[in-house]
Structure 1
Amino acid sequence: MQIGWCTLSCRFNQEEGVGDTPDSYAYDGNRVRKWNVTTTNYGKSWAAGDIVSCLIDLDEGSISFCLNGVSLGTAFSDISRGTGMAYFPAISLSFKESVAFNFGSRPLRYPVEGYRPLQDPPTVDLLKAQRLLGYLKNVLSTAIDVQEGRLLDKDPATWQLHGEPTVLITLVHIFNHFAPLMCKVYLVEDVLMNFLLGILEGGGAVGEHPLIQHLLDLMWLLMEDYEIHEFLKQLMMSLLRAYRFSPIVPDLGLQIHYLRLTIAILRHEKSRKYLLSNVLFDVLRSVVFFFIKSPLRVEEAGLQELIPTTWWPNRFNKEGKEIKDPTEETGEERLRRRAYERGCMRLKKRIEVVEELQVQILRLLLNNKDKGGGEASRYIFLNKFRKFLQENASNRGNPTVLCPPEYMVCFLHRLITALRSCWDEYQARSPSALCSEDSYVPPQLFYNGKVDYFDLQRLGGLLSHLRKMLKDDLASKANIVIDPSELQAVTMDDLEEEDESASSTAQRASAALAIGGALARPSWLSSPTLGRANRFLSTAAVSLMNPRRPLGALEKVKVRSLSVEQRTEDDIEGHHGNEGLLLGRPPEETDLPITENSLLEILDGAVMMYNLSVHQQLGKMVGVSDDVNEYALALKDTEEKIKRCPKRRPDILEELLKSQQVFLEKLNHLSRRLAWINVTIYSKEKMQDIYWLLQVCLRTIEHADRTGSLFAFMPEFYLNVAMNSYNALKNYFSPVSSMEELLGYEETLTRLAAILAKHFADPRIVGTDIKDSLMQALASYVCYPHSLRAVERISEEQQISMMKNLLAPYEQRPWAQTNWILVRLWRGCGFGYRYTRLPHLLKTKPEDANLPSLQKPCPSTLLQSHMAELLRGDPELASSFLNSVLNQLNWAFSEFIGMIQEIQQAAERLERNFVDSRQLKVCATCFDLSVSLLRVLEMTVTLVPDIFLDWSRSSSELLLRRLAQV
C-alpha cells in the first residue's frame, strides 16, 4: 500500500502506482519507505488500525506524513508547483488491502496546526449544535420550584423527565432545531458523542449513569423516527471508528471509554432492538467491538513500562526444542522469568477489563426477557448471527466480504463466555436442564430443517440426496414425513440450480423483497440468498407424527422452514406442543430439556465459527512464538561463538557482538509482543474455551452417531472442529499452558480416539476430504505416546473393528495413509528400528521437530496382537490383505527402479541437462512407499508366520512363493 499525492497528469496501471511517476509522492509503511520514482527509507512501520495524516504545504512545496498524530518528518521538498499543477489524494492498494479516507466529513482525529482538511468543517452548524447542546445542559441542570416559582440548580446526573409542562415544552423547542443537526455525522461525532462520553467520565459502573437512558427516552419521544434512526446509526458508526482506530495505551483507557458508552446505549431497550435489527450486522462490522488489536510497535503501546524485564527460553535440546526443566535454571534466569511473568500478569488484568466489557455487550444482545414492543433481543441477534455465518461460509472466494479471522477469534471467545453464562443461568432456574459443562447440539437440528446450514457439506452428501434416500428412516426414527411429489420437485430444482439465468435470480430477489427478505447490499455484510437447505425445506412438505399413536388425517401438522429473518421466538423455542428447533426428536434422545433452544443454535454457530477461520488464525499467530525460539537459538549460538572467538581476531569479535546486539533488541521486542498475544489468544482461559468446544463436538458426534443412518445428516464441520481443536490444544497453546493440565484430559483423548477409530472407515461418511482428514488425524494420533495410549484405552471391540478396517484390501481404497498407520504401530519392533531418524541424515530442523513422522518410535503391542488374531483367525482376510500389500509393493518398487534408471541415464548424457524436481519427489515417494510396505510385510511375517508356514491353509504356498520372490 502506497499513499500520498499525485497530479492529473499521472497515469497508473497494474505495475506502476502512486510514487512511481515524477509527479506522484507516496509513503509505504509496510516497507517503511517513501517513493517518488526512486525510493529511500522513511518513517515507521504501520499496522492495521493506524491513522496516517498526509500533509501537503504548497507554500513551502513540501509533503510530510504523520502516523497516529506523530510527525514522521518532511518526506519530499521542492515539489512541482505552478500554473496547471493541482494535487489530489492518491493510493495504490494490493489484493485484500483496504483503507478508509477522511477528507474532513468527520472531525480529524489528529489535526495539525497550520493545515486544513480538504473539506472545511460545517462551522455554522457546529456553532448552532454547541449552542443548542448548551441549552439542553441548562435544562438538565435546572429544576423548577413550583411553590415558590423559582429555578433551582440540580445535579444533571439525577435528571428525569417527570412530565413537567414547562420543561417538556422547552425541550420540544430545543429538539425542534437540534434533531435535524443530529443526523449529520460531523456533529454527532464532534458534539454529541463527546457530550455522552463526558457523562461516563466519573467512573463507576455504566448502570450508575442513568442520564444516558433518560436522554435516549427523550430522543425517541421528541424526534421523528427517521431522525432518531439516523442519529443512532451515525452514533454507533462513530463509536466503532473511535474504538477501532484508537491507539493502544498502557491502561487501554481509550478502548474502555468507548466500550462503556456502547454499553450505555445498548442498555436502552428500544435503541438496542433498532440497532440490532438494522445497524449492528447490516451496516457495521459490529464484530470490531469484540476485537482487541495487537500492537505492532510495543514502545507506543507502553509495553516497555508494563513489562520492563523480558525473558525468552535459552535451553534447547539437539533438535532445537525448548527444555522446560526449572531445576536447570540459574538464579538470574529464574528472577528474569518471574519478573517477566509478573509483567504479563499486569497486562492480563488490564486486558480482562476490556474483555469483560465486551462480554457485557453480548449479554445485552442475548437478553431474552425484553419482550416489550416486539421480539426479544436474543431472537433478533440469533437471526442476524445466522446471516453473518452464512455470508462468511458462502463467500470463501470473496475476501472483501469476509470477517477478518483476527476479529473472529476474539468474537468467538466473548461469545462462548456470554453463552455459557446464559446457559448456566437457565440451568439454575431449571435444575433438570444440562449445565454448560455437559452441553451438546442435539442431532435433530441437523435434519429437521429448523436451522439453515446453507450449502455446507453433510457427512452423507447433499441434503436433497439424503432426504430422498433416508426418507423412510426420517419417518420411522424422527417422525418426519416428506411428501414424495414435493421431494421430486425440489430435487429437480437442485439439479437445475447451476443453470438458472440471471433473470430468474432477479425474480427470486424481488420475491424475497415482497415477503420481507433483504436484498443483497454492497456493504461489508450483505444479505445473501437462502442456502440450498432452506430452499429445499421451504418447499418440501414436512409432517410431524405423534410417536405414541398413529395420527388421524386432521391431526397432521404442516411444518415449513422460514427465512432466517422471518423466524420468531415461537419458531425457535416452540409453544403449545410445538418443539421449535427440537422438532423430530429421535428415540435415542432424552425428552428432558437441554437448555433454551436459542442457546443451542448459538452453540451450533460457535462451532461453525471455529471451522470458518478461527483455527487458521490460531495457527498463524503461533509464528511469533516460533520467531522467539529461532532468535533465542541464534543468540545462544552467537554467544557460544563469542566465547570461542580467538583474541587475535578482534574483527570477528566485533561482528559477533553486533549480531548479539541485534538479536537482543529483536528478542526484547518479540517477547513483549508475545506477552500480548499469549494474553489475548493463548491464555489459559482461551485454552479452556477451545477445550470446551472440543468436548461439545465430541458429545454432539456421539449423540448423532446413536441415531444410526441419520448420522449422515450431520454437517462435516463438527468432525473437522473436533480434530482441529485437539490439534490447536496440543500444538498452539503448549508454550503457555499444557493440555495435560486440563480437567478430564485423559478421558477426552480416549473419546476422540474412539471417534477416529470408528468413523475413519464409516460407510455413512461419503465426502473424500473429510474421510482423508479422519485418516490423517488417526495417523497422527498413533505417532505420539499419550494419544496412542488413548487408542489402547478404547473398548476391545472398537480396537478390533479399527484393525479390521486397516487390514481391508488396499485395492479398494486410498491405501498410503492406512499403510503408514500400520507402520507406526510396528515402528520400534522391527529390524534396525531403534532410531527416530537415521544417524547419517541431516539434523532435524527446529520447526520440523513436532512433525508426526519424526516422532520417536512408540509401537503398540496390544494393537499388534489384535492384528495377529484377525489374520490368524480369518484366512480369507489374511490372503486378500497380503496379496494387496505385495501387489502395491511390486508396483511401487517397479516405479522407483524405472525412475532411478531414467535419472541415471539423464545424468550420463554429455549435454547439459537438469532433472525435474517433481520427478525427484515422485521417485522419493515411491521409495518411501516401498520401504513402508516392506515394513508392514515384516510385521506380518513376524507376528503371524503361520500364514506362510501352515500348509493346512490353501493360500500359504502361494504367499510363501510371493514372499520369496520379494
Structure 2
Amino acid sequence: EGRLGPSAVVLDHTSGFEGLLLVDDDLLGVSVTWKWLYEVLISSQGLMQIGWCTLSCRFNQEEGVGDTPDSYAYDGNRVRKWNVTTTNYGKSWAAGDIVSCLIDLDEGNISFCLNGVSLGVAFSDISRGSGMAYFPAISLSFKESVAFNFGSRPLRYPFWYPMEGYRPLQDPPRADLLKSQNLLGYLRNVFSTGIDAQEGKLLDRDQSMWHMQGEPTALITVAHIFNHFAPLMCKVYLVEDVLMNFLLGILEGGGSVEEHSLIQHFLDLMWLLMEDYEIHECLKQLMMSLLRAYRFSPIVPDLGLQIHYLRLTIAILRHEKSRKYLLSNVLFDVLRSVVFFFIKSPLRVEEAGLQELIPTTWWPNRFNKEDPKEESDDERLRRRSYERGCMRLKKRIEVVEDLQVQILRLLLNNKDKGGGEASRYIFLNKFRKFLQENASNRGNPTVLCPPEYMVCFLHRLITAIRACWDEHKLRNPPARCSDEAYVPPQIFYNGKVDYFDLQRLGGLLSHLRKTLKDDLASRANIVIDPSELQAVTMDDLEEEDESAGTTTLRPSATQAIGGALARPSWLSSPTLGRANRFLSTAAVSLMNPRRPLSALEKVKVRSLCAEQRTEEDIEGHHGSEGLLLGRPPEEKDTPITENSLLEILDGAVMMYNLSVHQQLGKMVGVSDDVTEYALALKDTEEKLKRCPKRRSDILDELQKSQQVFSEKLNHLSRRLAWINVTIYSKEKMLDIYWLLQVCIRTIEHADRTGSLFAFMPEFYLNVAMNSYNSLKNYFSPVSGMEELPGYDETLTRLAAILAKHFADSRICGRSDPPPPPPGDAVYLIIRNNLSRLSRQINMMKNLLAPYEQRPWAQTNWILVRLWRGCGFGYRYTRLPHLLKTKPEDANLPSLQKPCPSTLLQSHMAKLLRGDPELASSFLNSVLNQLNWAFSEFIGMIQEIQQAAERLERNFVDSRQLKVCATCFDLSVSLLRVLEMTVTLVPDIFLDWSRSASDLLLRRLAQLLNQVLNRVTAERNLFDRVVNLRLPGLESVDHYPILVAVTGILVRLLVDCDPQGTQRATSVLLVDPCFQLRSIQYLLGQTEPASAGSGSPAANKKHFSLQAYTDYINAEELSKVEKMLGHLSEESKQAAAATQPTSEEDLCPICYAHPISAVFKPCSHKSCKACITQHLMNNKDCFFCKATITGVEDYEKPAAN
C-alpha cells in the first residue's frame, strides 16, 4: 500500500550518473502515498547530499540530488538543505552518524533526523499527484561512502517513527521474527531447566550454568528446536534483531566475559546442529551486525554501548572454532575489522556528554615562553578541575582500549592448534594482505583503511605485540624483552616476507637481486636461482602470477572473493591484493653455514604466497629457521622472540609509514584552533577594558565577540581533551617512542651487514625521522619529550644513523623524500648529537653533492639551518610581517629558531675550497634550482593574480597556494645557501684563476638582478599578490627574499678585498637586467611619481630596510648605504664609458652581450657566458644540435 516495487529494497546502479559505485543488485522502492523513511549510515564526513527525487530527475557531474526542481536533499557537511536553491538547515554530521530521511506524501512534507533527533521539516508542499513517485537518492563526492538501510535490517532509531506513522520502505519479516523469538524462548527454557534423574522432575536453574555434557534429553530437545531455528539465522534482520540481542542479554549481568560460559556452549550447539553454510552465514551476519552497532552507536559519557558490543565480540572470538573461521573468511575478507579498534572522536561534544564529564573548561593563556606571568588562583582551580575531568575521561576510554587489546590478544593466540593452524598465523597472513591493499596506490580508493582507524589500530597492536613478546621472554629467558625489540636484517632479503612493490634503500628489488646475488651467497648463504632472475618486467611477473593463481587458488579464497565483492564498501575490504610479486618468482637456496655443501645438497626453498604460509614456514622446524633464513655472520645466534611477532612488528612499522604519521599531524589542528581562539578572546577582553563606556555600540559588539569566542573555546577544549586522551596521551607517546627505538635498532643491525643493507625497505628510515618529528612537534605540547626513558642516548644513535644516511653509497635516490620538517629535525639531531669528526665531514661532503637526481629540497633545508643566525638580517624566529601573537607552526621552515653550527660551516668551507670541481658542480646545481624555483613561483602568482582580478566569484585552490608558498620558501633558502657560500668561500666567485669563477659570478649576478627586478618594482605582480594577504601565502613577503639578496650583494661589494669588489661590480653592472633603482628600493628611495600617478600611490608606505631596526643592526644598514653609494658612482662611470653595439653584433641567445665565441665544428656564434653555461649541462649546439667539439674566441672582422 502506498509503495510500488519489489519487497526487497536495494540501490539501483543501472541508472543515474555514477563514477565509482559499489552496490547490490535489484531496484529501489518507490513511494506514492503515506509516510515513509529510510536510514543512511554516514561512513565518511565529506560532501554528500541525501534525500529524495522523482523519476523525471536527471543528474550529471554538475547537478546532483537537490539541484533539480523535483529533488530534495540535506547536506550535513555544509549544514544546508537543497532544492534548486539552498538555505541553512539542521546540524553538521560526522562519520559514524545516522541520518533518517522521512517523507510524508499525505501532507507533502520532507524532514530529516540526525541520530534520532528531529531536525524539523525541511521541505513542505512538495509536488504530488498523478505520475509523481519519489525514490531515495544520494549524491556523493569521490571517495565518500555511506550505507543505506531501507528496512532489510532493524532501524537504529525506530522509536521516532511509529508515533508519527512512518514506515520503512521494506517491511520487516514479521512472521519469521515472531517464529524466531518463540524458538529462542524455547531455548531459554531449556537452558534454565534442569532434570533431576533420580526424582524424575524438572528443576529451575541459572541458565549460565547450562552445559551439553550429561543431558541427552536436553540435547535432543535443542536439536529439534535448531531444526527450525537454523534456517532463520541466515537472514540478516533476524540475526541482528533476535540473535545479537539474545547474546547481548547474556552479558548484561556484568562480570568478566569469561564468567559467561553459556555463549561458548551456545556456539558449540550452533556448530554441532547447523549445516556448515548456515553457521558460516550466521556468523558472518552476526559479526557484521556487531561491527555496524559498534561503529554507529552514539557516544555516551560512560561509553557503555561501545563496551557492550566489544564484550560480545570478545565472547564470540573466545570460541576457538568460530574465531578461526572468522579470521579465515570474514574479519579481513568481508569486514573492515579494524573498525573494532577505533574510538571515534565526537564532533558535537554536547551529544557525547562531555559537558557533564568535564564541567569546567580551561585553555592556556600564556602564549610567550618568556612571559613570566604567574597563573591566578582562579585559573589554577579551573586548570585542575579540567585536568580531573580529563582523567575521568581517560579512565573510561582506557576500559574500551583494554577490551580492544583483548580482541587482538585472542587473534594473536598461537597455542590454539586444535583443528588446524593457530589463530596467530591466520591473522598474520591476513594482516599482510591488509597491508598490501593499503600500500598499493592502485585499485578502488574506497576500500583503503581510513588513517584515523590506522592510528587506533597501531596503538592497540603495539600493546598486544609487547604483551606477547614479554610473555615469550618469561617462558624463554634467553630471548630479548620488548624493550630491546628489532627486526633482524635477513627478513629483508631472504624472500620470506612480502614487501610488495615498496622501494628498498638500494633501489628496486629486481636490481638488487641481480647486482648483490654474490653477496647474498657469500654473506647470507642464500643463492638466487639464475632462471628466476629472467622474470624482471611487470609483464613477466603478471603472466607468472596468473599461471600460479589458476593452480593454487583454494576454495576459501574463492569464497572470500565472492563475499568481498558482494558487500558495500563502507563495511568491506574487497581488494584481494595482487599476487606476491617477489615471493612467487624468487627461488632461494640455503647453504648450511656450519659446513660447505655440495651442489646436490643445496635445497631449493620456494617462497610461499602469503595466503599459503603455515606455522612451520614462519617459525621453522627441525633445524629450519623459518623467517630467519640466511642469518648473516654479524647477527648473533641467539633468539630474539617468536618469528611471527617479528613479522607483525615489521607490519606495525609499515602501518606508521602508510598513513599514521599524516593523521597525527592532522589532529594537531584542534590544538592550534584552541590557541588561536584563546588569543582572539584575550585580545577582545583587552579591547573591552580599553573601550570608553560611552561607546555602547562598540561594547555590544565586543561582548558578542567575547561570547562567541568563549562558547567556541568551551567546545574546543572538551574536544581537545578527547583527542589528547585518545591520540596524544603519555601512553600513546611511549608507543611511538618505542617504534622509533625499534627502527633505530633495526637500522643499526642492518647497517652491519655491509652491502645487504641495501635490501632494507626505505620506510624504516622514513619512520625513524617521522616518528621523531611526531614526538617533537605533535606530542611535546601534551607530554614532555625530554622525560622519555633513554631520550639522550636515543637521539645520539639517531644522529649517527642520519649522518651516515646522507653519506651512504648503498642508498640510492629515495623515491619518496620526507617534507622539509623532517629535514629540519635531521639537522637539529645531527648538530646536537653527532660527535665523530669523520662522520661530520662525510655528511657535509654528501650534502654538497650536486642537487640533480636526488631529493635536493630536504638537503637544502639542512644547509640553511647551518647558516640561520649568521646571515644578513637572518636572526629572526618569526617573520617581521607576521603577528607575534600567532600560534607558532613548528612545520614552517620560515619559523624555525636560529641554531647555526660554525663547526659544520668550517667543514663546508674546507671542502669547497679544497675541491674546485665539487664547488663548481654544487653551485651550478644550486643556481639551476634557484632559477627553477623562482620561475615557478612567478608563474604561479601570475595565475593567482589573474584569478583574483576576475569579476565573477572564484576560489583559488588551497593546494596551489601551498605549492606557491613552498616555491617561495625554496627560493629564499637557496639564496641563503648562496649567501653562506659567498661568505665562507668568496674565492669560488672572485678568484678568476679558477676555471668556473667567471661563469658562476655572471650567473649569480643575472639571478640576483632578476629577483630584484621582480620584487622591487612598485605596483607590480609581486607587490599586488603580497597585498592580497591570501591564507596560505603568509610567508610570502618582501623582507625574507630582499634581505637574502642584500646579504649576497653586501658580501661581494662591501666585505671583499678591493680587487674582488671591482670584479663583482663590473659583472653586476654589465648585466643588462641591472637597475640602480632596485638597490635604491632597499632603503626606501623610490623614483619620483609621474604626472599621471594618483594620490593613493603617492601616500603608500614604501619598503625600507631602515624600518626593520629590530631585525637589522646599524652596522648592516651602514653597509647597505655604502653599497648603494658605491654602485651609484660605478654605474655613472660605466654608463659614460659604454659604447653602443649594433643589433647584428649581439648574442642571438641572450641579446645582452656582444658575440665573443664561435662553436666548432658548426661555426654558430654567441657570447662566451651563454655558451659556457649551456655546455655545463648539454654538449649539443644550441642552434643545430650538432655535438660541440670546441669553442674559440671570436672577433668581428674590421670593416673594409
Question: TM over 0.5: same fold?
Answer: yes
Residues 650 and 124 (structure 1), Cα distance of their counterparts in 2 relative to 1, 3 Å cut: same
When Rg is computed on C-alpha atoms for both structures, the one with the higher figure is 2
Q: Note closer, same or farther for the CA distance 1:137–1:830 as it changes in structure 2 (3 Å cut).
A: closer
8 A contact 1:396–1:402 mirrored in 2: no
Tell me which moved more, 852-861 or 662-671. Answer: 852-861
Over residues 18-59 of structure 1, what are the superposed CA-to-partner deviations in whole Å (9 max), with x where a residue is unaligned? 222332222222222222233322222211111112222223
* Cα pair distance change 1:79/1:822, threshold 3 Å: closer
**Segment drifting more, 917-926 vs 937-946:** 917-926
User: How many Å separate the matches in 2 of 1:915 and 1:498?
Assistant: 48
CA shift digits 1:33-90 (9 cap, x unpaired):
2222333222222111111122222233322222111122222233232232222212
User: CA 1:663 to 1:162, structure 2 compared with 1: closer, same or farther past 3 Å?
Assistant: same
| Residue range with higher mean Cα deviation, 813-822 or 243-252 | 813-822
Question: How far is the alpha carbon of 1:583 from its aligned partner?
Answer: 0.7
Range with greater deviation from structure 2 (544-553 or 563-572): 544-553
- Note closer, same or farther for the CA distance 1:231–1:801 as it changes in structure 2 (3 Å cut): same
Which of 396-405 and 347-356 deviates more? 396-405
CA displacement at 1:647 relative to structure 2: 2.4
CA separation in 2, counterparts of 1:35 and 1:94? 16
Quickly say closer, same or farther: Cα 1:530–1:705, change in 2 above 3 A.
farther
After the TM superposition, which of the residue ranges 537-546 and 509-518 deviates more from structure 2? 509-518
Deviations 1:545-592 (A, max 9, x none): 111221123321110111111110000101011111111111111111
C-alpha offsets along residues 313-360 of structure 1, whole Å, 9 cap, x if unaligned? 22223xxxxxx9786211111111111111111000000000000000
> Kindly tell me: are residues 512 and 591 of structure 1, through their superposed partners in 2, closer, same or farther at Cα, counting changes over 3 Å?
farther
| Distance verdict in 2 for CA 1:787–1:117, change over 3 Å | farther
- Offset at 1:890? 11
Which stretch shows the higher mean deviation, 488-497 or 148-157?
A: 488-497
Determine if contact 1:455/1:533 at 8 Å carries over to the other structure: no
Cα 1:583/1:156, change in 2 over 3 Å: same
Which residue of 2 is the match for residue 908 of structure 1?
Answer: 949
Residues 355-391 of structure 1, C-alpha deviations (whole Å, 9 max, x = no match)? 0000000000000000000000000000111111111
Residue-by-residue CA offset, 1:247-287 (whole Å, 9 max, x unaligned): 00000000000100100010000010011111111111111
Report the equivalent of 2:1054.
Answer: none
Change (3 A) 1:794 1:329: farther
Would the aligned equivalents of 2:504 and 2:760 in 1 still touch at CA under 8 Å? yes
Instruction: Decide whether aligned partners of structure 1 residues 588 and 662 sit closer, same or farther in structure 2, where only a CA change above 3 A counts.
Output: same
SS in 2 for 1:138: helix
Judged with a 3 Å threshold, the aligned counterparts in structure 2 of structure 1 residues 749 and 202 are, in CA distance, closer, same or farther, namely same
- Contact conserved, 1:455 with 1:532, CA < 8 A, in 2? no
1:274 correspondence with 2:325: yes
User: Which piece of structure 1 moves more, 845-854 or 517-526?
Assistant: 517-526
C-alpha displacement at 1:185, in angstroms?
1.2
Task: Point out the more displaced range, 594-603 or 554-563.
Answer: 554-563
Q: 1:498 to 1:76 in 2, by over 3 A?
A: farther
Conservation of the 8 A alpha-carbon contact between 2:347 and 2:719? yes
Indicate if the aligned counterparts of 2:108 and 2:125 stay in contact, CA closer than 8 A. yes
Q: Which moved more, 1:526-535 or 1:290-299?
A: 526-535
Deviation at 1:875, TM superposition (A): 7.7
User: Post-superposition shift, 1:541?
Assistant: 3.0
Contact 1:750 1:793 in 2 (8 A): no
Is residue 2:249 matched to residue 1:198?
A: yes
Classify 1:520/1:730 alpha carbon distance in 2 versus 1 (closer, same or farther; 3 Å).
farther
- Does the residue aligned with 1:459 lie in a helix, a strand or coil? coil
Deviation of residue 876 (structure 1)? Answer: 7.3
TM-score by length of 1: 0.88
* Aligned counterpart, 1:927: 968
Q: Which moved more, 1:747-756 or 1:571-580?
A: 747-756
Would the alpha carbon gap of residues 156 and 646 (structure 1) be closer, same or farther in structure 2, given more than 3 Å must change? same
Is 1:387–1:564's contact at 8 Å kept on the other side of the alignment? Answer: yes
Q: 1:581-592 to 2 correspondence within 5 Å?
A: 581-592=627-638
Report if the CA contact (8 A) 1:283-1:524 is conserved. no
**Residue 11 (structure 1) shift:** 2.2
Could you tell me how far apart the structure 1 residues matched to 2:594 and 2:338 are?
Answer: 46
Q: Which residue of 1 aligns with 2:271?
A: 220
Q: Quick check: 817-826 or 99-108, which moved more?
A: 817-826
How much identity, in percent, do the aligned residues show? 90
> Counterpart of 1:97 in 2: which secondary structure?
coil
- State how far apart, in whole Å, the 1-side matches of 2:117 and 2:960 are: 55
CA displacement 1:795-815 (0-9 Å, x = unmatched): 7xx112112323446688676
Task: Answer whether contact 2:444 2:575 (CA < 8 A) is retained.
Answer: no
Q: Is the 8 A contact 1:538 1:561 kept in 2?
A: yes
| Separation in structure 2 between the aligned mates of residue 140 and residue 842 of structure 1, nearest angstrom | 72
Which SS does the other structure have where 1:817 is aligned?
Answer: helix
Residue 860 of structure 1 and its aligned partner are, at CA, apart by 1.6
Residue 739 of structure 1: how far off its partner (Å): 1.4
Shift of the 111–254 alpha-carbon distance from structure 1 to 2, 3 Å rule, reads farther
Aligned CA distance change for structure 1 residues 325 and 212 (closer, same or farther; 3 Å): farther
Q: Which is helix-richer, 1 or 2?
A: 1
Q: In 2 relative to 1, CA 326–204 (structure 1 residues): closer, same or farther, beyond 3 Å?
A: farther
Q: Which moved more, 1:639-648 or 1:865-874?
A: 865-874
Q: Secondary structure at the match of 1:500?
A: helix
Deviation sequence 1:602-660 (CA, Å, 0-9, x none): 00111111111111111111111111111111111111111121223211111111111
Q: 1:490, 1:540 within 8 Å by CA — same for their partners in 2?
A: no
CA distance in 2, matches of 1:794, 1:416: 37
Does structure 1 conserve the Cα–Cα contact (< 8 Å) formed by 2:676 and 2:886?
A: no
- State whether residues 656 and 767 of structure 2, in contact with CA within 8 Å, keep that contact through their aligned partners in structure 1: yes
Say whether the 8 Å CA contact 1:543–1:557 is kept in structure 2. Answer: yes
Of the structure 1 ranges 885-894 and 661-670, higher mean CA displacement relative to structure 2 is found in 885-894
Secondary structure at the aligned position of 2:347 is classed as coil
Q: Is the 8 A contact 2:284 2:326 kept in 1?
A: yes
Q: Distance in 1 between matches of 2:547 and 2:615?
A: 36
Q: Distance in 1 between matches of 2:371 and 2:359?
A: 24
Distance in 2 between residues matched to 1:691 and 1:916, nearest whole Å: 36
Q: Distance in 2 between matches of 1:871 and 1:201?
A: 75
Mapped partners of 1:918, 1:173: distance in 2:
66
Paired with 2:944 and 2:293, the residues of 1 have a C-alpha distance of 63
> Is 606-615 or 735-744 further displaced after alignment?
735-744
Whether the aligned pair in 2 keeps the contact of 1:819 and 1:936 (CA below 8 Å) is yes
C-alpha contact 1:615 1:728 (8 A) present in aligned 2:
yes
Say if 2:541 and 2:585, in contact at 8 Å, map to a contact too.
no
- Which piece of structure 1 moves more, 571-580 or 880-889? 880-889
Decide which of 577, 580, 592 is 1:531's aligned counterpart.
577
Task: Select which of 107, 111, 122 maps to 2:173.
Answer: 122
Structure possessing the higher relative contact order (Cα contacts under 8 Å, 6 or more residues apart): 1
Match of 2:784 among 718, 738, 742: 738
Deviates more, 1:34-43 or 1:359-368: 34-43
> CA, structure 1 residues 500+172, in 2 after alignment: closer, same or farther (shift >3 Å)?
closer
Unaligned runs of 5+ in 2: 1-47, 814-824, 1006-1199
TM-score, normalising length: structure 2: 0.71
Q: Aligned partners of 1:907 and 1:150: how far apart in 2?
A: 90
Larger deviation, residues 511-520 vs 584-593: 511-520
Shift of 1:921: 12
Larger deviation: 209-218 or 936-945? Answer: 936-945
Q: Deviations over 1:844-874 (max 9, x none)?
A: 8535465233323222233234445556777
Q: Give the Cα separation in 1 of the matches to 2:245 and 2:785.
A: 46
Is the 2:807–2:842 contact (alpha carbons within 8 Å) kept by the matching residues of 1? no
Checking the alignment, whether the CA contact within 8 Å between 2:408 and 2:460 is kept in structure 1 is: yes
Distance 1:892 1:7, change over 3 A: closer
Which segment drifts farther, 118-127 or 379-388?
A: 118-127
**TM-aligned CA distance change 1:207 to 1:22, over 3 Å:** same
Structure-2 change in CA distance of 1:9 and 1:501 (3 Å): farther
Q: Is the 8 A contact 1:284 1:524 kept in 2?
A: no
Distance 1:491 1:454 in 2: 14
* Residues 192 and 207, structure 2, Cα contact 8 Å, conserved in 1: yes
Q: CA deviation at 1:674?
A: 0.8
Query: 1:108 — aligned with what?
Result: 155
CA contact (8 A) 1:588 1:707 kept: yes
Deviation at 1:456, TM superposition (A): 1.1
Are 1:391 and 1:525, in contact at CA under 8 Å, matched by a contact in 2? no
